[in-house]
Amino acid sequence: MMLGFLLARAGVPVLVLEKHGDFLRDFRGDTIHPSTLELMHELGLLDDFLKLPHQEARQLGGQIGDTLLTLADFSHLPTQCKFLALMPQWDFLNFIAERARRLPAFALRTGAEATALIRDGERVTGVCAQTPQGPLEIRCDLLVAADGRQSVLRRQAGLEVMELGAPMDVLWMRLSRHADDPDQTFGRIDAGHIMVMLNRGDYWQCAYIIRKGGYQEIRERGLPAFRQDIVGLAPYLRGREPELRDWDDIKLLTVAVDRLRRWQLPGLLCIGDCAHAMSPIGGVGVNLAIQDAVAAANLLSGPLLDGPPSFDHLRAVQERREWPTRMTQRVQVLVQNNVISRVLASQSRPTPPWPVRLLARSPLLQRIPARLVGMGFRPEHVRSPRAC
């Protein structure tokens, strides 16, 4: 959606396909980081964007065993917004779609699921889609695959996927929030258990971390036992655990960390989760994908105005975005293997290791994770032209 908006803004005719009829679904990536908010400022959209309902997290904290810690402080970032904005992703998508629809070069077609590539020899020249009205064929100078980690188009293209591994999965659920609850977005670590709680105003969006493949074992223990695990991590939730009425209220997110060795074919470019599936650590996936979109618009809007971009043009997008992707995944894998795996395997109450204790005591050091989470390794800026 962001790439379509930016290309149409530059005068490039764009059609965005969305397989669902609308965006009203329970997404997992609802954190909008300062890097993305800075892009909204550069586009002149920030004031209107922040009028949408959202919560602001200016610090990230955690509780390890009995110890409360502040781990990241965004107040010193060199950005317009020194906070994470917590907003339902459907609101974000609707906002961008509404602004994009004002551009004569932009079109959005919902209820259109991409099913197959169209090729002319070695070159991708379009896409087949299924719609309620029947099959559809679309020819284009460039097809951008942004259909996620289970991408149909990526699989059909035969692009090699490098699996980096993930020792965990996530159970995603919501519980009501009371006025006297803590207001901070928070992570809780105890013996064998990890849960992250996102303050969404009148409810907590909870991500309960489990070991990879452990979901069936949790179900076999029963829902009452799982509810007690939740209350054990956050005792003030006691009395609200019956809101988890059945397992349909708890969604399994299968975590994968991977990336394509090559993000493109002639006529095809992969971005976002389609090019690199991220761990939920840091909540950076959506924001990294938006950085891909901005870089792609910066590099491709000019060539697309003249016709099909060359393979070198497409390769330049990967060259621009591969290093920050690699570095982000390297940090995520380091945390997965050295923190999360050990906690999930432990039966004893943890205490903060000395680097974490040092971080919690030093406001200056708290700027480092804030920078990595809030801005990433190579934040992009809007350089694509504005034709309308």
Whole-number pLDDT of residue 175 = 94
Whole-number pLDDT of residue 348 = 84
Whole-number pLDDT of residue 388 = 67
Query: Strands 84-86, 31-32: parallel, antiparallel or unpaired by DSSP?
Result: antiparallel
Does residue 219 carry a pLDDT above 70? yes
The owner of tokens 């990536």 is 29
What mean pLDDT comes out for the span 165-188?
88
Place 30 in a pLDDT band, splitting at 50, 70 and 90.
confident
Give the side-chain half-sphere CA count within 13 A for 264: 20
Q: Is the pTM of this model over 0.85?
A: yes
Whole-number pLDDT of residue 292 = 98
Cα 192 to Cα 9, 256, 302, 349: the distances in Å are: 49, 21, 52, 8
* Gap between the Cα atoms of 334 and 326, Å rounded: 12
Does residue 250 carry a pLDDT above 70? yes
Give the side-chain half-sphere CA count within 13 A for 379: 18
* Gap between the Cα atoms of 268 and 145, Å rounded: 7
Q: Which residue has the higher pLDDT, 200 or 290?
A: 290
Place 192 in a pLDDT band, splitting at 50, 70 and 90.
confident
The secondary structure element, H or E, covering residue 286 is helix 285-306
Percentage of the chain exceeding pLDDT 90: 73
Helices vs strands, H then E, count in the chain: 12, 21
Place 27 in a pLDDT band, splitting at 50, 70 and 90.
low
Average pLDDT of the chain, as a whole number: 93
